[in-house]
């Protein structure tokens, strides 16, 4: 009887050891299995302008799409500045067009008529001066009358010269330097319009990528400055997994390699290795042994090909490398 009891005890012990061995074998990771975490990718969104916040379209937990308007600033002042810049640009363009069109024919005809009037006045004053000059020689005219006639002739000659210059300027049209200056003023006005349009655009806060609102930092009515946080958003446009690979498996993790990712809940996704660090995370010792070399690990990043809502930032995942 005693031998039977001892035999049963030995069988129980052997069975327990077998079960423990099986459990340990099942718990041990398969060759080519790595571990990592989904990267936490979040961004604090802010206006690139200042003013009072008129509206905020999202709250915590709301999904956002790339390019979607999330909040609006009071942009009345910016819109007024844009209207002013547009008016100045239009005025500068009109001035340039006026110079490029040259002098109107009517203005040239008027300049010619003014010259003819000045020439006629000069001829009249020339005759008066000549008569008084002869009379003055015989003391038939006073010196004052003679001086007045000479002065009138000088004035009429000056008017002729002035109207000739005005006619020449009208015929020649604007100078090249004037046109260049007008073009420069138009470029400056157009740049002012572009700047004003950009400032108006800054009054709308757009989502840089798909994501989920984590925190709504302020409420409508708050006066913000540039770079003041408005939302904190977790980006979901791309999902990356960060992990580490030992030196012995480097040959199986080349960039572009397709791997399988699985979560603790049993769901799996496909991923593609996008980056492997060129340097080890742990600096090797001066004298290395094979054991020490196998302790080196390299950081890698894996892009999840088709993530779904079950993939959460920061969650642990298991990385299954393809077989050799």
Instruction: Give yes or no for residue 237 having a pLDDT over 50.
Output: yes
Q: In what order do the strands lie in the sheet with 69-73?
A: 204-206, 69-73, 51-56, 223-224
pLDDT value at 106 more than 50: yes
**CATH of span 29-40+237-320:** 2.40.30.170
In degrees rounded to 5, what are phi and psi of residue 202? -70, -10
Can you give the pLDDT at residue 246?
87
Residue 137 has pLDDT above 90, yes or no: no
| Per-residue pLDDT tens digits for 250-271 | 888 999 999 999 988 889 999 9
**Residue 253 burial (CB count, 10 A):** 21
Instruction: State yes or no: pLDDT of 3 exceeds 70.
Output: no
Lowest mean pLDDT among 30-39, 189-198, 289-298: 289-298
Which residues, 6 or more positions from 55, have their beta carbon under 8 angstroms from its beta carbon?
A: 71, 72, 220
Count Cβ neighbours within 10 Å for each residue of 281-297 and write b for 16 or more, e otherwise: eeeeeeeeeeeeeeebb
Instruction: Indicate the domain borders of the chain.
Output: 29-40+237-320, 44-74+200-235, 81-198
Answer yes or no: are the C-beta atoms of 321 and 272 closer than 8 Å.
no
Output the pLDDT for position 17: 47
Q: What percent of the chain has pLDDT over 90?
A: 45
User: Are the C-beta atoms of 101 and 178 separated by less than 8 Å?
Assistant: no
Same CATH fold assignment for domains 29-40+237-320 and 44-74+200-235: no
CA distance 151 to 121: 13
Topology of the domain comprising 44-74+200-235: OB fold (Dihydrolipoamide Acetyltransferase, E2P) (2.40.50)
Q: What is the pLDDT of residue 133?
A: 77
Torsion of CA 285, 287, 291, 296, to 10 degrees: 30
In the chain, which residue ranges form alpha helices assigned H by DSSP? 2-27, 76-101, 105-137, 143-172, 176-201, 290-293
Report the Cα–Cα distance between both ends of the chain, in Å, rounded: 56
| pLDDT tens sequence across 270-291 | 999 999 998 887 655 554 555 5
Which of 70, 64, 53, 79 is closest to 205 using CA atoms? 70
Kindly indicate the confidence band of residue 31, based on its pLDDT and cuts at 50, 70 and 90.
low
| pLDDT (0 to 100) of residue 285 | 54
């Amino acid at each position: 009887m005693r031998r039977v009891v001892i035999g049963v005890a030995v069988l129980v012990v052997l069975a327990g050891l077998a079960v423990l061995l099986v459990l340990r074998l099942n718990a041990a990771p398969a060759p080519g299995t790595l571990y990592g975490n989904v990267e936490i990718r979040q961004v604090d969104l802010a206006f690139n302008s200042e003013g009072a916040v008129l509206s905020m379209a999202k709250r915590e937990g709301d999904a956002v799409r790339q390019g979607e308007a999330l909040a609006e600033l009071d942009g009345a002042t910016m819109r007024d500045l844009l209207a002013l810049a547009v008016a100045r640009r239009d005025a500068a363009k009109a001035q340039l067009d006026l110079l490029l069109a040259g002098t109107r024919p009517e203005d040239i005809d008027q300049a010619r008529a003014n010259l003819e009037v000045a020439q006629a006045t000069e001829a009249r004053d020339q005759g008066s001066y000549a008569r008084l000059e002869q009379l003055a020689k015989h003391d038939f005219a006073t010196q004052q009358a003679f001086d007045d006639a000479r002065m009138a002739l000088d004035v009429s000659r000056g008017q002729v010269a002035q109207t000739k210059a005005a006619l020449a300027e009208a015929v020649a049209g604007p100078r090249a330097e004037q046109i260049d200056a007008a073009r420069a003023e138009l470029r400056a006005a157009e740049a002012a319009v572009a700047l004003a349009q950009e400032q108006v655009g800054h009054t709308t806060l757009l989502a840089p990528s798909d994501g989920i609102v984590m925190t709504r930092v302020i409420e409508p009515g708050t006066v913000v400055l540039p770079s003041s946080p408005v939302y904190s958003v977790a980006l979901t446009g791309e999902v990356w997994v960060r992990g580490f690979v030992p030196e012995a498996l480097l040959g199986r993790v080349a960039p572009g390699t397709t791997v399988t990712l699985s979560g603790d809940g049993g769901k799996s996704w496909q991923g593609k290795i996008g980056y492997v660090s060129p340097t080890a995370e742990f600096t090797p010792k001066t004298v290395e042994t094979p054991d020490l070399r196998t302790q080196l690990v390299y950081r890698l990043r894996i892009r999840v090909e088709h993530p779904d809502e079950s993939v959460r930032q920061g969650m642990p995942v298991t990385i299954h490398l393809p077989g050799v």
